[in-house]
Structure 1
Amino acid sequence: MTPTALPLLDQQLCELEQFPDEVRRLFHGRGQCWPGLEHITVDWLAGQLLISLFKEPDLEFIDALRVLSAKWAQLPLWQSKVKSILLHHRSRPDCELEVLWGTLSKEQQVVENGLTFLLDLGNKQNNGLFLDMRFGRSWVKSNAQDKRILNLFAYTCGFSVAAIAGGAKQVVNLDMAKAALGKGRDNHRANGHELNKVKFLGHELFKSWGKVRKFGPYDLVIIDPPSFQKGSFALTKDYKKILRRLPELLTEHGQVLACVNDPSLDAQFLIQEMAEQAPDMVFVERLDNPPEFRDINPQASLKSLLFKRVAS
């Protein structure tokens, strides 16, 4: 990242005529479309502007960013809408969150597609909602009516919230991070959902197939794993272990939404793995990513692939 590239960011943000009503990414440098700004993103969190750095820049860059933030804070639109400008040092071991202007509200409530989500801002990598999965959650909401759904690597249960809002009969969320599932319960409560339709399994997946099968079979299985989770999941090695279990998890005409967000793997990785491990699953389509996540190489961005089961 170079200070000489910051005028590009300044221009993008100063040209805003209004801030979105819902949570949105405002600038996506990680899509490699802005030379010199490849490791910076800017998100709008309903009053708080979150700038994230994914690589440690030199002090000159950070100083220039602080100067820009002070300038933005004086713009009339910003003075009326922005409560704080935050700088998230994602590359640092403690993921330091620095307040550049205003006052930090660590607990943040945002709206996406008419649904409420609770964010937790602080010294941690992720705040509770991956914004590039907006269209994926929207698809689930539109296709959940009367379905039994399994949400693997559920995190804070964004897919589950969308599914219940879309009329799902039942959603089973599994994630080894029980604190994240607790936030998922809060997300459901924030939307007035009946929790008797939602299960929360705080287990390591590969030791819990019996518990997962107990609530099946499922009309839809959602697989959205991390690229790497120390001691529990390595994408290229472990994804196939999940796919080969699909026949025992799915209904006769069940669907799978399989996702991968590793820039080194393209969509063909999932298509080939599915063909080898679950040959009765047929690839249907790749869901679009939100336009604000434009990437110079579409295969490096989030891949959300839909498959359906066909009778053998």
Structure 2
Amino acid sequence: MGRVVLHKDRKRRLEQGSPWIFRSEVARVEGDPAPGDVVEVVNHQGHFLARGYINPRSQILVRVLTYRVDEPIDASWAARRVDEALAWRERFLPGVPSCRLIYGEADFLPGLIVDRFENILVVQVLALGMERLWPWIRQALVDRLNPRGILLRNDVPVRGKEGLPLDVREDFGEVPERVWIEENGLRLAVDVWRGQKTGYFFDQRENRLAIAPLVSGARVLDVFTHTGAFALHALKFGAEHVVCVDQSREALDLARENVEANGYAGRAEFVEANAFDELRALVDQGRQFDVVILDPPAFAKSRSSLPGAIRGYKEINLRGMKLVRDGGFLVTASCSWHMHRDLFLDTIAEAAVDARKILRLIELRGAAKDHPVIHGSEESNYLKFAMFEVRSRG
């Protein structure tokens, strides 16, 4: 087994819980490990710290699989990790049949995402080392869950950086074109083959419940609606009418189907448009809503894209505030981990100044419990979700 020796004067990120070891932290690599091989990680004195898989092509040289010197990486290790992930969901989400089952580094399975849609598992294998370990993990999942099918959504660009092909294919059993799930008493159709990421965003499950006090009898604008999950919850909690905006016709068709399936037809309308353009148009028209919901995709996918992302978040929030009636509510989110919480709040505050609004914070939240956060790994603490009362400044 190869060995990675860390610099003496490095920051102690690994000891603080970070599962990533960057090449800048490494003094030398001993042996001749191939990309994807499991290696030992030691400090400058040779003391064991962790074991993980290596990929010299990546700036993240090693991703940690275990911190125990007596835990080999084998089929038994894979079974234990799956059991631990299942136990977490059973403890904090008892009886929930659809959720994020494995959340990569936060479940000590770096580079692996597994979402459970009833009896269908949708998987993203994001790294070369995990690609080699996947057969053991797949067997553990099959043994414990007996799924109808497992779909690999390995169409993620980051795989190309790992030297891996991009594809979408059944890896076990049969996976239908569309899967129906239940969330918070609502039925939703999910396009697991072509939808964004794995087809659905479980991270906002508990945040969708949090809007209940805001929406009774309200006229709601839901921007970046995707397949309508926030809109559905607003309707469930008594919204009078919801306008759903998204630039994807396929997503809007699914949102319309979900609204109709839950008996809310006639209380929602669907607008196929670029969100920035539609927000500007609605402001120009003088439209007003009781609640505006902004749940955009990640604007900052890298540190270099952060300045543009800040401008984007400021614009949508500024225009969203202008569309909220005096005393109404703004619900806004960011899933860009580069956009850390304080920067997100500062950007919203700047938008409020320009919009001549005063904001009163109701609640600031993160991701659902099936997206645990590792202390010391800010990457796993990516979601910011805020609810504000919006008042005019004159």
Aligned to 1:268: 342
Aligned to 2:80: 11
In 1, distance between residues paired with 2:343 and 2:75? 36
Q: Which amino acid aligns with 1:46?
A: E
Q: Which amino acid aligns with 2:119?
A: G
Aligned to 1:212: 282
Structure 1 segment 139-154 matched on structure 2, within 5 A: 139-154=210-225
Aligned to 1:27: 102
In 2, distance between residues paired with 1:41 and 1:253? 40
Alpha-carbon contact 2:235-2:242 (below 8 Å) kept: yes
Aligned to 2:269: 199
Alpha-carbon contact 1:23-1:45 (below 8 Å) kept: yes
Aligned to 2:124: 52
Alpha-carbon contact 1:172-1:215 (below 8 Å) kept: no
Distance 1:28 1:68, change over 3 A: closer
Aligned to 1:181: 252
Alpha-carbon contact 1:174-1:203 (below 8 Å) kept: yes
Aligned to 1:70: 139
Structure 2: gaps of 5 or more residues: 1-51, 54-64, 66-72, 302-307
Alpha-carbon contact 1:218-1:251 (below 8 Å) kept: yes
Q: Which amino acid aligns with 1:302?
A: L
Aligned to 1:308: 389
SS at match of 1:164: helix
Structure 1: gaps of 5 or more residues: none
Q: Say which structure, 1 or 2, has more relative contact order (CA 8 Å, 6+ apart).
A: 1
SS at match of 2:110: coil
In 2, distance between residues paired with 1:67 and 1:248? 53
More displaced 10-residue stretch of structure 1: 293-302 or 244-253: 293-302
Distance 1:72 1:182, change over 3 A: closer
What is the TM-score of this pair, normalised by structure 1? 0.84
Distance 1:152 1:229, change over 3 A: farther
Query: How high is the sequence identity, in percent, across the aligned residues?
Result: 22
| Root mean square deviation, CA, Å | 2.9
What is the TM-score of this pair, normalised by structure 2? 0.68
Q: Which amino acid aligns with 1:264?
A: H
The alpha-carbon deviation at position 68 of structure 1 amounts to 3.9
User: Rg: which structure is higher?
Assistant: 2
Q: Which amino acid aligns with 1:304?
A: F
Alpha-carbon contact 1:118-1:128 (below 8 Å) kept: no
SS at match of 1:101: strand
Alpha-carbon contact 1:175-1:201 (below 8 Å) kept: yes
Q: Which amino acid aligns with 2:153?
A: H
Counterpart among 258, 267, 272 of residue 332 in structure 2: 258
**How far does the alpha carbon of each residue in 1:241-280 deviate from its partner, in whole angstroms, 9 at most, with x for none?**
1222244311110111110011111111221122212131
Say how many residue pairs are matched. Answer: 299
**How far does the alpha carbon of each residue in 1:212-261 deviate from its partner, in whole angstroms, 9 at most, with x for none?**
3458311111111122399xxx5222121122224431111011111001
In 2, distance between residues paired with 1:309 and 1:263? 26
